[in-house]
């Protein structure tokens, strides 16, 4: 529940969710539209706003960013190293099982663009997740007439992810304290038991949740109290100015 707790305790909690949604989604559109320099600027911008404005601890933010970073490093390797037909276009080439693999300048460019674009988009999503409770986001989406079934599933999945992670963590600590991961054989056995126990536990939790909802008069619609926010026109002007600065700087760099 780390992200959820910061969403309720950060310094931007009282800012209207529409303003934060607007800022996050407009910036994400720029990530797709413009080049690497814009994406690097967006990564730095989101770090500054989330850490210094919303007062989310820098260590927490960096740890969260390292999660997609590690996956990205592995993913872009498949873009950098490709099967090539003409060795003269490759910077480095080598043969494996009569197949020529190599690294080309085009492959490196594509990997760099994808790497920074993904990190920029993730930073926008982290800004939204760390500063805005999911209940507020769902209430805004309701006003935009998103299907109620989709929003209910979104809310339930979001909550159950944390419940499942907590259950998995507790089972892992319990197994580890009994030397369940001391050897490779024990590790495979413990991992299998963890997955099996997690499946049983998640099924029971879903049944308990449904019973609890029924006891509270559930009629296929989850009703949650929402806080009243006021739009701040200064913030909207600030958002528009930031987006215009990003667009202007990106267009100048393209020349």
Assigned domain for 98 exists: yes
Q: What is the rounded average pLDDT of the residues 82-100?
A: 74
Helix (H) or strand (E) holding 85: none
- pLDDT band for position 1 (cuts 50, 70, 90): low
Identify the pLDDT of residue 255: 60
- pLDDT band for position 75 (cuts 50, 70, 90): confident
Assigned domain for 80 exists: yes
Identify the pLDDT of residue 51: 93
Q: Which residues contact 247 (CB under 8 A, 6 or more apart)?
A: 30, 34
Are residues 67 and 13 in contact, defined by beta-carbon separation less than 8 angstroms?
A: no
Assigned domain for 193 exists: yes
Specify whether 79 is located in the same domain as 173: no
Q: Tally the domains of the chain.
A: 2
Write out the residue range of the structural domain in which residue 204 sits. 144-215
As a whole number of angstroms, the longest Cα–Cα distance in the chain is 71
Specify whether 196 is located in the same domain as 91: no
Assigned domain for 221 exists: no
Tokens of 122: 């993730």
Are residues 134 and 153 in contact, defined by beta-carbon separation less than 8 angstroms?
A: no
pLDDT, tens digit (0-9, with 9 covering 90-100), for 191-205: 888 888 888 888 887
What is the model's pTM? 0.78
Q: How many CA atoms lie within 13 A of 208 on its CB side?
A: 8
114/31 Cα distance (integer angstroms): 10
Specify whether 169 is located in the same domain as 117: no
Identify the pLDDT of residue 120: 92
pLDDT, tens digit (0-9, with 9 covering 90-100), for 2-54: 778 888 889 988 898 899 999 999 999 988 888 888 889 999 999 999 999 99
Specify whether 3 is located in the same domain as 80: yes
Identify the pLDDT of residue 50: 93
Assigned domain for 139 exists: no
Assigned domain for 222 exists: no
Assigned domain for 112 exists: yes
Identify the pLDDT of residue 123: 92
Specify whether 5 is located in the same domain as 104: yes
Specify whether 127 is located in the same domain as 148: no
Are residues 180 and 190 in contact, defined by beta-carbon separation less than 8 angstroms?
A: yes
Rg (CA), the chain: 23
154/146 Cα distance (integer angstroms): 11
Assigned domain for 124 exists: yes
Specify whether 242 is located in the same domain as 119: yes
Identify the pLDDT of residue 241: 92
pLDDT, tens digit (0-9, with 9 covering 90-100), for 230-255: 888 888 999 999 989 988 888 887 66
Residue with tokens 């404005």: 53
Specify whether 11 is located in the same domain as 69: yes
Specify whether 53 is located in the same domain as 75: yes
174/183 Cα distance (integer angstroms): 16
pLDDT, tens digit (0-9, with 9 covering 90-100), for 111-170: 888 889 999 999 999 999 899 888 888 888 888 888 877 887 787 777 777 778 788 888
129/6 Cα distance (integer angstroms): 9
Are residues 102 and 82 in contact, defined by beta-carbon separation less than 8 angstroms?
A: yes
Specify whether 238 is located in the same domain as 206: no
């Amino acid at each position: 529940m780390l992200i959820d707790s910061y969403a309720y305790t950060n310094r931007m909690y009282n800012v209207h969710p529409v303003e934060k949604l607007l800022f996050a989604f407009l910036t994400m559109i720029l990530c797709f539209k413009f080049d690497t320099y814009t994406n690097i600027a967006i990564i730095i911008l989101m770090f500054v706003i989330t850490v210094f404005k919303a007062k989310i601890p820098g260590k927490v933010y960096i740890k969260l960013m390292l999660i997609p970073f590690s996956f990205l490093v592995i993913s872009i390797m498949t873009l950098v190293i490709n099967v090539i037909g003409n060795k003269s276009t490759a910077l480095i080439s080598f043969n494996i099982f009569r197949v020529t693999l190599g690294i080309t300048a085009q492959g490196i460019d594509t990997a760099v663009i994808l790497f920074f674009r993904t990190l920029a988009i993730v930073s926008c999503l982290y800004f939204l997740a760390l500063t805005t409770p999911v209940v507020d986001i769902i209430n805004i989406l309701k006003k935009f007439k998103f299907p109620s079934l989709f929003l209910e599933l979104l809310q339930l999945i979001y909550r159950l992810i944390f419940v499942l992670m907590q259950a998995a963590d507790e089972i892992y600590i319990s197994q580890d304290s009994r030397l369940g991961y001391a050897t490779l054989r024990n590790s495979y056995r413990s991992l299998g038991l963890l997955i099996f126990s997690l499946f049983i536990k998640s099924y029971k939790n879903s049944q308990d949740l449904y019973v609890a909802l029924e006891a509270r008069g559930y009629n296929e619609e989850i009703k949650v109290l929402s806080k009243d926010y006021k739009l701040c026109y200064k913030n909207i002007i600030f958002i528009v100015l930031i987006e215009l600065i990003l667009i202007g700087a990106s267009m100048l760099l393209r020349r």
